[in-house]
Amino acid sequence: MEFYHKAADFFQNEDVTTSANQCNQKVAEFAAQLEQYQTSIDIYEEIARQSLKSNLLKYGVKGHLLNAGICQLCKGDVVAITNALERYQVDPTFSGTRELLLPLMRKMLQSSLMLLRNLIA
């Protein structure tokens, strides 16, 4: 993971954004597998922000935001998920993906409430 991060820095310094993003994507994937969700979220969101600036890369923004949203769900913080989904509206194509993440968030919230009720009862 460390070497992908270093490679991304080198590519970024040389203004080779596509290669830097590919390396950063690997770092985000590994971070998510290691349950370092916030690191993964930060990387995916940064890749999405950078990709919005490029006509060639903007078509991948939706996928990066989806990955960030899935990591938000894994964290289990409903408030953070809600705020993130609002921020992700920077990409007009994300609305369909948002419709996928919202029911998952609601289900997670319902499960949390049922667990809380069971603990109180």
At 79, the pLDDT band (50, 70, 90 cuts) reads confident
Closest by CA to 94, choosing from 55, 113, 68, is 68
Q: Is residue 34 classed as helix, strand or coil in its secondary structure?
A: coil
- Ranking 15-29, 74-88, 90-104 by mean pLDDT, the lowest is 90-104
Task: Check if the beta carbon of residue 58 is closer than 8 Å to that of residue 84.
Answer: no
Mean pLDDT of the chain: 85
User: What's the predicted TM-score (pTM) here?
Assistant: 0.82
Mean pLDDT for 25-37 is: 95
Task: Check if the beta carbon of residue 98 is closer than 8 Å to that of residue 81.
Answer: no
- Please give the pLDDT value at position 98: 67
Gap between the Cα atoms of 78 and 120, Å rounded: 21
Structural domain spans, the chain: 2-120
At 108, the pLDDT band (50, 70, 90 cuts) reads confident
Give the CATH number of domain 2-120; options: 2.60.40.10, 3.40.1190.20, 3.40.640.10, 1.25.40.10. Answer: 1.25.40.10
At 121, the pLDDT band (50, 70, 90 cuts) reads low
